[in-house]
């Protein structure tokens, strides 16, 4: 039997953090020992999701109280622009899996352009591997930390990269049509829009301007060894969750 890995989750009360906690609870090799939050210390995480009712989970603590020397692995479920400030302090002290956008891009200039934010540690960008296991199959067998891909890129890259690598499709005119539920906007999404704007409506947004374009472009070019030309048209569906790309 493998030794259990001691795991911490920072930003555990957001949509991504809560889903991550549910996955980790079911994993036979992980034991959650720290649950970080922004402003709800000493509460049970079940107060944020009633589907999480495991008595052995620790109570919430502030993200800033996390000590990287006490655990084997930390998941950062923090917003972009926040995650890299923690990484700067934790790098080389603990294995990091970052679920934000802060370390997905190879270029600091692209990050600043698409995310309107200055990176606090651009020198660490090359210390992260793009964590798409269906494509990068050896990501857990390296000394690199892991940057988890974005939602749209995941749904797009998994089917497209193998086709491009085997020259089964042309790279000069790819049309990507994606649809997402509104939970992708995070907890700060104004849910009154569901009644005022979204109810029964299906609409596109940020056509060919979405911030995930640079991430999609980077990985398609990298794996096909050529410049890939595509259009990207994302849509919002009046549903809570789900995503499909064609």
> Residue 75's Cα: distance from chain center in Å?
10
So what's the pLDDT on residue 2?
61
Q: What pTM value is reported for the model?
A: 0.91
Q: Which two tokens stand for residue 21?
A: 């906690």
Walking along the chain (246 residues) 10 residues at a time, the average pLDDT comes out as: 86 95 95 95 92 90 96 96 93 95 96 92 96 89 92 97 95 95 64 58 86 97 95 89 93
**What is the three-class DSSP state of 204?**
strand
- Domain boundary residue, one of 149, 175, 199: 149
49 and 158 inside one domain: no
- The one-character DSSP state at 4 is P
Total structural domains within the chain: 2
Domain that holds residue 241: 152-245
Kindly state whether residues 55 and 136 are assigned to the same domain: yes
Are 78 and 183 part of one and the same domain? Answer: no
Q: Which of 126, 149, 172 is the last residue of a domain?
A: 149
Pairing type for strands 30-37 and 5-10 reads parallel
177 and 92 within one domain: no
Q: Which residues are catalytic?
A: 151
Are 30 and 110 found together in one domain? yes
Domain check: are 144 and 195 in the same one?
no
> Do residues 127 and 179 share a domain?
no
Single residue among 101, 118, 149 that ends a domain in this structure: 149
Q: CATH number for the domain including 228?
A: 3.30.360.10
């Amino acid at each position: 039997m493998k030794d259990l890995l001691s795991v911490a989750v920072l930003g555990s009360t957001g949509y991504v953090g809560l889903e991550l906690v549910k996955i980790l609870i079911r994993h036979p090799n992980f034991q959650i020992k720290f649950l970080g939050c922004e402003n709800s210390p000493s509460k049970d995480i079940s107060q944020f999701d009633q589907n999480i009712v495991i008595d052995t989970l620790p109570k919430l603590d502030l993200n800033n109280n996390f000590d990287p020397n006490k655990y084997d692995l930390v998941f950062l479920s923090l917003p972009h622009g926040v995650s890299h400030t923690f990484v700067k302090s934790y790098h080389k002290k603990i294995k990091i899996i970052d679920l934000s956008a802060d370390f997905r891009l190879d270029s600091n200039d692209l990050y600043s352009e698409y995310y309107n934010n200055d990176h606090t540690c651009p020198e660490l960008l090359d210390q992260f591997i793009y964590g798409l296991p269906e494509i990068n199959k050896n990501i857990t067998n390296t000394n690199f930390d892991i940057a988890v891909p974005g939602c749209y890129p995941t749904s797009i890259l998994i089917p497209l990269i193998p086709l491009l690598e085997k020259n089964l499709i042309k790279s000069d005119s790819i049309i990507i049509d994606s649809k997402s539920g509104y939970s992708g906007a995070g907890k700060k999404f104004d849910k009154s829009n569901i009644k005022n704007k979204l109810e029964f409506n299906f609409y596109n947004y940020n056509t060919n301007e979405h911030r995930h374009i640079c991430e999609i472009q980077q990985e398609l070019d990298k794996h096909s060894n050529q410049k890939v030309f595509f259009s990207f048209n994302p849509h919002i569906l009046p549903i809570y969750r789900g995503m499909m790309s064609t």
